[in-house]
Amino acid sequence: MVKRSLSFIHKAYIVFLKDLHVEFRSRYAVNAIFLFAITTLTAISFSIGPIRLRSEILAPLLWIILFFSSMSGLAHIFVREEEQQTADTLRLLTSPNSIFLGKWLFNIILLFSLEVLIIPVFLAMMGVQVDSPGTFLLIIFIGSIGLASVATLIAAIISQASAKGALFAVLSFPISLPVLISGIHGTQLAMDGGTFKEAISDIQILFSFSIVIVTLSLLLFEFIWRK
Amino acid sequence: MWTVKAQEISQKFNQRHIFEGISFEIQSGNSLVITGPNGSGKTTLIKIICQLLRPTSGHLIIKNEENQIDAHQIYPYLGLVGPYLQLYNNLSAFENYTFFARIRSLPVDMKYFRQLMAQLGLKGREFDELRTFSSGMLQRMKYVMAIMHKPRILILDEPTANLDEAGSEIVYGIMELQKKENILILATNEPEEVKFGEKKLVLHS
Amino acid sequence: MILDKSWWKYLLAVWMTVVILGAFLYAPPAKGLGETARIIFFHVPTAWLATLAFLISAVGSIQYLRTQEKKYDIWAYSAAQIGLIFAILATVTGSIWAKKIWQSYWNWDPRETSIFILLLIYAAYFALRSAIDIEEQKAKLAAVYSIIAFVTVPFFIFIIPRVYESLHPDPLINPEGEIKMDSRMLQVFINSLLSFTLLFFWMLRLKIETMKIHFKIEQSLSE
């Protein structure tokens, strides 16, 4: 049993490495997500000019950038397999849950690497003072896991439909709302110097939401993946 | 001794019957050829046999001796070549091989890989990305991936699509070898290939 | 089955007429909210049915994934369609009342936010269905999406009241667990709720039956 679950995680890791390798060659998703984020950020910064915004506006702006950047790049992980007709190849190689976990990990890493770049730039461009950096990072960290989890699950669904691009955001938005609402609320608290204790309920919601979505994904993914 | 057994398999798409009540049984050391006009559901049946598709009704059973192998355990025993099954074009032949070997829990063996590539007549292209391959070479490459783990069940949908004469000869050799001790299932209309099937299943449209 | 008879449909017509008359003539205006409070006799049932339909749709979806039987997909789809109608009705009636009482059609009150999310989910559900060609694929993926949405909903119950402040009156049960309503109002309200629910099941049945006939015609045409 232990050996089986280990091999199941090991295979997820192999799928992850493969996707990393393929992405490294084509850089499609990376380009999409980074360029989208930077374009949006620049557009916002341009239109606002030198005005200093309050945290009530900065926190939603940050999460809107993260959400729509995710929507521009995170579906690619499944769409690529369907479009290049490698999905059936993959279906014959390993169990659905290993595939899901591998791709989930890939999307999380992709979103994290975006954030490592875009958040410092956002803070600098908008002149934001984050009073509780620890809480801020924790909220972003858990929130991103939630966002990437929803995106991966919905990506699996839309990769089998037509009009994939438009559908992705439409389907993801209502499901990601708990992440967005709690993430925005927590981020705003952290920018204004709220302590970890004050943000605890947001952290709890983000954390439990991610766990619920991942569990649900492992239960439902086989239905999505197998035709 | 392996067995692939289909019991009364039917498939519908959008309320349209593709085929109804398909049954057959095939064991190691045997081969089955599926023929039928275009649109008769050859590929659909192949996908059901590989468990890529759940039939609308009926059962497909794969057994090793008396142990039934369920969909989660079938991966190491199955090899499939088909036009809808592509490899990773951005990766080189060797990188594709590495991924396939590792996910099948096989050792990544360079010597074995070179030997397979030579067998399929792809010597010298080991480290080229697949997007530089011609369609015939891609078809040969699919065979490398389908036979590298010495599958108990080898399933070929249009086995010699895109292949030249030399390529077809190599594939016939693989088919001959496979049906000696293991199971070979073909979907084809080429008379040359149909004769490889000891059992024949004709689908009607 | 009793629902196969038609007498109850006439009874329902009479019942709903009485409820409508009662809402305007029999029930007194509510304290503080005046005549506008009469909207609860129509607004609350629509909101309740939008939620009930969502629940039925989720249950149908779970059953579909378990059994792969077409009829459960028809259930889920029909419930969602009727649910969407009631969700729109609830939004519109609520919005009109909000304009009267809060001077604005939309305030992002928790209940407004909740019904809006429900509308978004329904819209996404239908958008997904329209983007898949193969019937079985469509049924399966729509069922999966419906379950995901259903599991997400409880989070809103925790999150929304914390972030958005409420102005919305508690219609029936308030935190103190008391029933604030006047007894005559309550009579009309409960009758309205029940008759609307019966109407809903009638609509759902009609929808399911027509879907089944539609399905059979398609089947016979393709053979």
For tokens 């991942």, what's the residue?
A214
Chain segment C27-53, per-residue pLDDT in tens: 877 766 777 778 888 998 999 999 999
Strands B199-202 and B30-35: parallel
The CA distance from A8 to B151, in Å, is 21
The nearest CA of chain C is from the CA of B98 a distance in Å of 33
Instruction: Read off the tokens for C144.
Output: 């999966």
A170 touches chain C (CB under 8 A): yes
Chain segment A170-179, per-residue pLDDT in tens: 999 999 999 9
The nearest CA of chain A is from the CA of C135 a distance in Å of 12
Whole-Å CA distances, C132 to A163, A171, C66, C142, C216? 9, 14, 21, 9, 20
pLDDT band at A83 (very low <50, low <70, confident <90, very high): very high
| A/C interface, count of CB pairs below 8 Å | 76
pLDDT band at A194 (very low <50, low <70, confident <90, very high): confident
| C-alpha triplet A168, A172, A174: angle, nearest 5° | 140
**Binding-site residues on chain C for chain B (CB distance < 8 A):** 68, 133-136, 215, 218-219, 222-223
Instruction: Read off the tokens for B114.
Output: 């070179």
A207 touches chain C (CB under 8 A): no
For tokens 């009609």, what's the residue?
C206
Indicate the angle between helix axes A164-191 and A55-73, nearest 10 degrees: 150
The CA distance from C109 to C90, in Å, is 14
Give ipTM to 2 decimals.
0.93
Domain assignment of residue C200, yes or no: yes
Sequence ranges of the domains in chain A? 2-225
Residue C2: its pLDDT value, please? 64
Chain segment B97-154, per-residue pLDDT in tens: 999 999 999 999 999 999 999 999 999 999 999 999 999 999 999 999 999 999 999 9
Bridge partners of B201, per DSSP, are B34
B59 touches chain C (CB under 8 A): no
Residue C73: its pLDDT value, please? 95
C25 Cβ neighbours under 8 A, 6+ residues apart = none
Domain assignment of residue C8, yes or no: no
The CA distance from A207 to A203, in Å, is 6
Q: Which amino acid is present at A226?
A: R
B17 touches chain A (CB under 8 A): no
B134 touches chain A (CB under 8 A): no
Task: Tell me the chain A residues in contact with residue C68 when contact means C-beta distances shorter than 8 Å.
Answer: none
Task: Tell me the chain A residues in contact with residue C148 when contact means C-beta distances shorter than 8 Å.
Answer: 153-154, 175, 213, 216, 220
B15 touches chain C (CB under 8 A): yes
Task: Tell me the chain A residues in contact with residue B75 when contact means C-beta distances shorter than 8 Å.
Answer: 92-95
The CA distance from C72 to C61, in Å, is 7
- Give me the number of domains chain C comprises: 1
Residue from the list B15, B54, B56 with its beta carbon closest to the beta carbon of C222: B15
> Is A93's CB within 8 Å of B104's CB?
yes
Chain segment C177-221, per-residue pLDDT in tens: 455 677 888 888 889 999 999 999 999 999 999 999 988 888 788
> Is A11's CB within 8 Å of B103's CB?
yes
* Residue among A152, A159, A146, A167 at smallest CA distance from A100: A152
Whole-Å CA distances, C8 to A77, A114, C110? 54, 61, 37
**Higher local confidence (pLDDT), C103 or B177:** B177
Give start and end residues of each alpha helix (H) in B10-130.
Answer: 42-49, 93-103, 110-119
Chains linked to C by 3 or more Cβ pairs within 8 Å: A, B
Residue C174: its pLDDT value, please? 47
> Is B17's CB within 8 Å of C223's CB?
yes
A78 neighbors A165 (Cβ within 8 angstroms): no
Residue C177: its pLDDT value, please? 46
Average pLDDT over residues A18-43: 93
- Which residue on chain A is closest to B104 by alpha carbon? A93
The nearest CA of chain B is from the CA of A99 a distance in Å of 11
Q: What percent of chain B shows pLDDT beyond 70? A: 100
Give, as one character, the DSSP assignment of residue C24. Answer: I
| B/C interface, count of CB pairs below 8 Å | 18
**Higher local confidence (pLDDT), A19 or C155:** A19
Q: C115 phi and psi, to 5 degrees? A: -70, -30
- Which residue on chain A is closest to C153 by alpha carbon? A175
Q: Tell me the three state secondary structure of residue B34.
A: strand
> Is A92's CB within 8 Å of B105's CB?
no
Residue C173: its pLDDT value, please? 44
Question: In this structure, how many other beta carbons lie within 10 angstroms of the beta carbon of residue A4?
Answer: 9
A67 touches chain C (CB under 8 A): no
* Residue among C214, C208, C74, C51 at smallest CA distance from C138: C74
* pLDDT, averaged across chain B: 93
The nearest CA of chain C is from the CA of B43 a distance in Å of 17
Domain assignment of residue C20, yes or no: no
In DSSP notation, A104-159 reads HHHHHHHHHHHHHHHHHHHHHHHT---S-HHHHHHHHHHHHHHHHHHHHHHHHHHT
Residue from the list B86, B103, B129 with its beta carbon closest to the beta carbon of A85: B86
Domain assignment of residue C91, yes or no: yes
C35 neighbors C24 (Cβ within 8 angstroms): no
C77: domain range? 38-165+185-222
Q: Which of C116, C128, C136, C165 should be substituted to probe chain A, the one whose Cβ sees the most A Cβ atoms within 10 Å?
A: C128
Q: Set out the domains of chain B in order of their start, with CATH numbers.
A: 2-202 (3.40.50.300)
Supply the pTM of this predicted model: 0.92
Task: Tell me the chain C residues in contact with residue B17 when contact means C-beta distances shorter than 8 Å.
Answer: 222-223
**Binding-site residues on chain C for chain A (CB distance < 8 A):** 65, 117, 120-121, 123-124, 127-128, 131-133, 137, 140-141, 143-145, 147-149, 151-152, 155-156, 158-160, 162-163
Q: Which of C219, C220, C221 should be substituted to probe chain B, the one whose Cβ sees the most B Cβ atoms within 10 Å?
A: C219
Residue C32: its pLDDT value, please? 66
**Which residues, numbered 184 to 203 in chain B, qualify as contacts with chain C under a Cβ-Cβ cut-off of 8 Å?**
none
The pLDDT of residue C172 is above 60:
no
B86 touches chain A (CB under 8 A): yes
Chain segment B154-171, per-residue pLDDT in tens: 999 999 999 999 999 999
Residue from the list B51, B88, B103 with its beta carbon closest to the beta carbon of A14: B103
Residue C135: its pLDDT value, please? 87
Chain segment A126-169, per-residue pLDDT in tens: 988 899 999 999 999 999 999 999 999 999 999 999 878 889 99
- Which residue on chain B is closest to C69 by alpha carbon? B56
B50 touches chain A (CB under 8 A): yes
Instruction: Read off the tokens for B112.
Output: 């074995």
Q: Is the dihedral of CA B97, B103, B109, B111 positive or negative?
A: negative
**Dihedral angle at the C-alpha atoms of A169, A172, A174, A176, nearest 10 degrees?**
-120
